[in-house]
Structure formats: C-alpha cells, structure tokens
C-alpha cells in the first residue's frame, strides 16, 4: 500500500478507477513546491541586487533648543516656613506670579520693625558723619586763621625790628653828639682851670665849667645806656621773629593732627554707614524673598515641597515649571563608531512616540509619517554610557513638530546615508562594519520619506 517495496503492483492495478490512489498522488504537490521554491530563490537573488539606503538609527527624547525653555526647578533663596500656597499642580502661571509665601525662621530676623530700626541707625550714623565733617571744616578754618595770624605777626615783628634799628641809629647819633659835648666840656673846663690858676677866670666860672663837664658826662652815660637798650630790643625782636614760625607751626600741626583724627573717625563712620546700608538692603531684599514668584511663564508640573508649616532650607527646590512657549528640539545619542558619519546640517527623519508612522528604513520611498529635522549641534565628549549627543531641530517651516509634544517624549531618529545593494548591506552587517562615509550634498533629497497625510491639529 505504501509503495515502498521493489515489487511494485502499479502495473498490475488500474489506479485510475480507485479514488484512494487519486487522493494520495503527491506528484503534483511536489512539482508545485519545487516551482515555488525556485521562484523564492530567484526572488531572493534578485532582492540581493536591489538598492538599499544605509542609515543610522538612534533613540532620544524631546527637549527644547534654548536652555531657558526647558523644565526648571524653582528654588527658595532663603530658609523659611511655608505659610500659604497660591498655585496647584497643573496651573498656568505668568512670570512674576506668586507661588508660595514663606515666614521667617531665623531669630536674627524676627523683629517686625527690623527695617525701621536699621533705617534709624543709618540716619544716626549719617548725623555722626555730618558732625565729623563740620568739625573738620572748623579745623580747616582754624588752620587758615593761624596761617593768616602768622603772617600778621611776622609783619608786626619785622616792623618792630625796623623801628628798633631806627631807634638804635638815633641812639648812635645821640651818643656821638654826647661824646663830642663831653669832650668840649672837658676841654673848656681844663682851659678855665688854667685861666683860673693865672687869675684870669673866677672860681665861679671854673665851677660852672666843672658842672657842665659832669652834666655832659652823665648825658654820655645815659646815651650809652639807651643805645645798649635799643640793641637789646632789636635782638629780642629778631629772636621773636625767628621763633614765631615754630610757635605757629606747632599750633598748625596740632590743628592738622586734630583734623586728620576727625577725618579718620569720619571715614570709619562712613565705612560703618556703608555696612549699615548694605545690611538694610539685605533686610529689604530678604523681605521680598518671602514671596517665591515664577521666574517665567509656564505650567506647574510638580510641587516638590507640600503642606503648610513645612520648613525649607536655603536653595531647596519648591516646584517645577515647564514653559509653554518653547522651541522644540530633539536630543539623540549615537555610537562612537557612527559619530564620524554625522555633521551639522545633516537631515534626520524623526518618529515620535504616539504618532503613527510606517517605516522601512532601507526603502525610504515606502515610508510615511515621519518628520524632518536638521542636526544643529554635536557634543565633543561622550556621556556616561559612552554615547555622543546630537541636537536636532525642525527644518520644515510648513511641517513643524506637533504642538502636542511634551518635553521628555521618546523619539526614534533615522539618518539616511549612502545607497548600496542589499547584498553589500548584508555583508556589512555580518562583518560589523560601519556604514559608508560620504559628504552630504547641499541639496538634500527630500523624497526619501513621505510626510504624514494629516498632521496633528494644533
């Protein structure tokens, strides 16, 4: 029955009249299988010579082109206790809107009149500075008066010296006259005495001449004394003129020393005033920091601190804001072996998670639903996973990235490279070789991928 023996009975039995033999006949099936197998092998051989577009496939996520448009944490600049919330998660806030109000937790800032007292200290210190300024001005006036008085004293002493010189000259002339008078009186006395001895002159005449001689001698002595006295007065005036500079210089130096001490105290007061003003500005700025405000417009996505009465430290994160005005971009990561094939300005096709797309990477004409992007930046150093990051932005103004995209969404990118046969690509993949390197043309082939039929509504 199985027709496996060498002694066949098919030549002795008419199998055409038996249906079971007709149903078990495998010749036609074997023939069809052989045909299909040959056709399949031919198609495989033909497909090996079909063109295949080499590509680099990458994965990444949605981000923003500008750093200030990315999600950011709002920190507290001061330590405090949460007293009141003005927002909740999901709220849209504008720049400058209040997020939370804090109360003070440090003892040195508990005084409710802290700013007023600091202002009073500043006013008192300013008054002290004004007093020092007035005292320094008064000392300047005193120094000017002393210098002016010194000039007057010197002129006075110079006049006194000149008067003493004139008086001394007069006394010298008077002494000459007295000496001459004394000589004449002595000569007349001697002559009268001679004549008296001869009896020519009387005794009274002799006594008169003696009296005159004694008078002239006394006048001579008096004139000599006056001349000596005038010389002493001249010496005293000259000494006073020489010592008046030292006297007044000492007075001026003392006044200047007092002035410098006053200026030093004034500068010290000015330094303390600056410290008080700085402290007042710090107090005023701290008062404005009790209200944590939104640094930019966006959505409150997460409240890191919560509750009422919770104490936060300086620099602690309070909430996370995602700006709603943003220029979307994509950051993707490539292997070091693929990095030389990437350059700025190169086109990359993107497929966003949640957006329908049909992709055959090697036969790009059969793909649709992708978005076009352009490489704008390439990192020079790898990340912790030894991958290089590249930044991609949209290069089609008429077909931008969907507005419903959120930062952090997953993205798959395909960078198209050189067209090669399928057999070459299979051989390259089996050997682990990188794609062929080539320079992109200035005009990109925009027909590699078809855009989606309908974009997401804004």
**Mean per-residue pLDDT, 118-146:** 90
| Counts for the chain of helices (H) and strands (E), in that order | 5, 14
pLDDT digits (tens, 9 = 90+) for 338-383: 888 888 888 888 888 877 766 666 555 566 668 888 899 999 888 8
- Write down the pLDDT at residue 75: 92
* 312 in the same domain as 233: no
Q: Report the SS3 class of residue 337.
A: coil
Residues of the domain holding 5: 1-48
Is 303 part of any domain?
A: yes
Tens-digit pLDDT profile for residues 165-209: 888 888 888 888 888 888 888 888 788 778 778 777 777 877 887
**Structural domain includes residue 455:** yes
pLDDT by residue (tens digit) across 419-449? 677 787 777 778 777 666 545 443 444 444 4
Highest averaged pLDDT of the listed ranges 115-119, 440-444, 451-455: 115-119
pTM comes to 0.56
The number of folded domains in the chain is 4
6 and 91 co-located in one domain: no
The two tokens of residue 341 are 């094939």
The verdict on 265 and 392 lying in the same domain is: no
Distance CA 274, CA 290 (A): 25
* Average model confidence (pLDDT) across the chain: 81
Instruction: Tell me if 422 is assigned to some domain.
Output: yes
Do 438 and 299 share a structural domain? no
Residues 273 and 139 reside in one and the same domain: yes
Do residue 277 and residue 148 come from a single domain? yes
Q: How far is the C-alpha of 360 from the C-alpha of 38, rounded, in Å?
A: 26
What does the alpha-carbon distance between residue 210 and residue 188 come to, in Å, rounded to a whole number?
9
Indicate the residue among 267, 288, 309 that finishes a domain.
288
279/146 same-domain check: yes
Helix (H, G, I), strand (E, B) or coil at 403: coil
Same structural domain for residues 380 and 448? yes
Long-range CB contacts (within 8 A, 24+) of 262-270: 262/132, 262/135, 262/136, 262/139, 263/132, 263/136, 265/132, 266/129, 266/132, 266/133, 266/136, 269/125, 269/128, 269/129, 269/132, 270/129
CATH of the domain at 133: 1.10.287
Does residue 41 have a pLDDT over 90?
Answer: no
Model confidence at 105: pLDDT above 70: yes
Q: Does 450 map to a domain?
A: yes
Question: Does one domain contain both 132 and 280?
Answer: yes
Q: By three-state DSSP, how is residue 309 classified? A: coil
Residue scoring higher pLDDT (154 or 419): 154
| Tokens at 247, concatenated | 């006297």
CA angle 375, 381, 386 (to 5 degrees): 95
Q: What is the mean pLDDT of residues 110-136?
A: 89
Is the domain of 412 the same as that of 275? no
Which pLDDT value is given to residue 358? 66
Bigger pLDDT: 14 or 376? 376
Tokens 């330590």 identify what position?
Answer: 79
Give the CATH number of the domain where residue 309 resides.
Answer: 2.40.50.100
Least confident of 302-306, 402-406, 450-454: 450-454
Q: How far apart are CA 126 and CA 264, in angstroms?
A: 15
Three-class secondary structure of residue 139 per DSSP: helix
65 and 18 in a common domain: no
Residue 109: inside a domain = no
Regarding whether 143 and 245 lie in a shared domain, the answer is yes
Dihedral pair phi/psi, residue 390, rounded to 5°: -125, 145
- Segment 287-324, tens digit of pLDDT: 889 999 999 899 998 888 888 889 999 989 999 998 88
């Amino acid at each position: 029955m199985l027709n496996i023996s060498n002694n066949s009975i098919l030549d002795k039995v008419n199998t055409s009249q038996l249906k079971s033999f007709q149903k078990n006949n495998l010749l036609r099936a074997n023939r069809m299988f052989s045909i299909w197998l040959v056709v399949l092998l031919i198609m495989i051989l033909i497909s090996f010579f079909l063109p295949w577009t080499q590509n680099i496939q990458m994965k990444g996520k949605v981000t923003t082109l500008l750093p200030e448009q990315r999600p950011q944490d709002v920190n507290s600049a001061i330590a405090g206790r949460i007293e009141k919330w003005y927002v909740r998660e999901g709220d849209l806030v504008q720049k400058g809107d209040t997020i939370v109000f804090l109360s003070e937790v440090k003892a040195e800032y508990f005084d409710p009149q802290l700013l007023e007292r600091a202002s009073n200290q500043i006013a008192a210190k300013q008054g002290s500075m004004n007093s020092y300024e007035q005292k320094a001005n008064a000392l300047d006036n005193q120094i000017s008066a002393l210098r002016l008085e010194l000039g007057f004293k010197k002129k006075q002493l110079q006049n006194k010296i000149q008067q003493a010189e004139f008086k001394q000259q007069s006394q010298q002339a008077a002494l000459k006259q007295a000496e001459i008078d004394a000589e004449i009186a002595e000569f007349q006395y001697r002559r009268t005495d001679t004549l008296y001895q001869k009896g020519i002159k009387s005794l009274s005449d002799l006594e008169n001449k003696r009296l005159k001689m004694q008078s002239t001698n006394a006048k001579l002595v008096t004139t000599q004394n006056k001349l000596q006295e005038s010389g002493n007065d001249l010496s005293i005036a000259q000494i006073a003129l020489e010592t008046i500079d030292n006297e007044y210089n000492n007075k001026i130096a003392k006044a200047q020393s007092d002035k410098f001490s006053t200026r030093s105290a004034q500068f010290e007061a000015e330094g303390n005033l600056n410290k008080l003003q700085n402290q007042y500005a710090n107090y005023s700025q701290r008062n404005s920091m009790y209200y944590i405000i939104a640094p930019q417009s966006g959505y409150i996505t997460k409240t890191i601190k919560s509750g009422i009465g919770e104490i936060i430290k300086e620099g602690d994160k309070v909430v996370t804001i995602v700006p709603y005005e943003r220029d979307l971009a994509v950051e993707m990561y490539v292997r070091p072996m693929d990095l030389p094939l990437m350059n700025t300005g190169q086109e990359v096709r993107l497929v966003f998670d949640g957006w329908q797309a049909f992709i055959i990477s090697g036969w790009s004409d059969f793909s649709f639903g992708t978005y076009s992007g352009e490489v704008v930046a390439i990192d020079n150093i790898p990340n912790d996973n030894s991958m290089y990051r590249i930044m991609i932005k949209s290069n089609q103004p008429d077909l931008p990235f969907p507005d419903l995209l959120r930062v952090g969404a997953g993205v798959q990118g395909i960078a198209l490279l050189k067209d090669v046969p399928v057999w070459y690509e299979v051989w390259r993949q089996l050997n682990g070789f990188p794609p062929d390197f080539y320079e992109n043309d200035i005009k990109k082939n925009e027909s590699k991928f078809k855009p989606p039929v309908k974009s997401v509504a804004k």
